[in-house]
Amino acid sequence: MGGSLRVAVLGAPGVGKTAIIRQFLFGDYPERHQPTDGPRLYRPAVLLDGAVYDLSIRDGDGDVAGPGPSPGGPEEPPDPKDWSLQDTDAFVLVYDICSPDSFDYVKALRQRIAETRPAGAPEAPILVVGNKRDRQRLRFGPRRALATLVRRGWRCGYLECSAKYNWHVLRLFRELLRCALVRARPAHPALRLQGALHPARCSLM
């Protein structure tokens, strides 16, 4: 017996949100970046631990938030109220490990999600994802320090991946979905998310 889950993938323009989703769904990677023309919705069915789940994956491209980054920093993150994301079951916040501005963008977006969550609503798990791990030598900060900040300071899950080489992309969605399914347990979402990091069967239908 399965069910339905709503997942939002958010982040600044150019961090690889669409590439991550397309690797997960179709196993392909666009060699040339093409900005997403507004938010898109994907509706795959997945098999997780023997149960089928209908997913709604929202590719929320940051380009809808404004004309582009200003010289002094990243552009304003999209407002979850405008996108009706209050009832989302889980969030993936993507940043580029080579771009500190994209990390600041995710930080502000996480804060907005927390502030706009309806009173009494279940706390949706948030997984912060550092993409472009294949460019490890160009990263702006140590992985361990960033992971500690996100897990302990932001109280979110943390994972790094490479959409280009399809590294940890399946693991990303598997862990997020498992966390979303157990979010009602009396433990903090960050602890539940980290506790989900063990083998599980997850495949597209």
144 membership: H or E segment, kind and range:
helix 143-148
**Ramachandran angles phi, psi of 139, nearest 5°:** -65, 150
Residue 75's pLDDT is what? Answer: 44
Residues making up the chain, counted from first to last: 205
pLDDT above 80: residue 127: yes
More confident residue, 190 or 27: 27
Instruction: Tell me the per-residue pLDDT of 29-87, one tens digit each, with 9 for 90 and over.
Output: 987 777 777 778 899 999 887 888 899 999 975 433 333 333 334 444 555 444 456 77
Residue 158 to residue 110: CA distance in whole angstroms: 13
**pLDDT tens digits for range 85-100:** 677 889 999 999 999 9
Asked whether 13 and 95 are in contact (CB, 8 A), the reply is no
* Helices 17-26 and 169-181: angle between axes, nearest 10 degrees: 90
- Is the pTM higher than 0.85? no
Please give the pLDDT value at position 183. Answer: 66
C-beta separation of 149 from 107 below 8 A: no
In the structure encoding, which two tokens stand for residue 107, read together? 């930080």
| Tokens read off for 66 | 């404004």
Backbone angles phi, psi at 46, to 5 degrees: -125, 155
> What is the reported pLDDT for 195?
40
- pLDDT tens-digit series, residues 132-179: 999 999 999 999 999 999 999 999 999 999 999 999 999 999 989 888
User: What is the sign of the dihedral through the CA atoms of 190, 191, 192 and 194?
Assistant: positive
Residues 6+ apart with CB under 8 A from 97: 130, 131, 132, 133, 135, 136, 138, 139, 140, 143, 160
Place of tokens 């989302």: 88
Token pair 């990243």 in the structure block, residue: 74
**pLDDT in the model for residue 84:** 57
- Split at pLDDT 50, 70, 90, the class of 203 is low
Structure tokens at 176: 């997020």
- Residue 10's pLDDT is 94
pLDDT value for 71 = 32
Q: Which residue has the higher pLDDT, 25 or 190?
A: 25
Residue reference for tokens 């009832």: 87
pLDDT computed for residue 65 by the predictor? 39
Max avg pLDDT among 128-132, 177-181, 201-205:
128-132
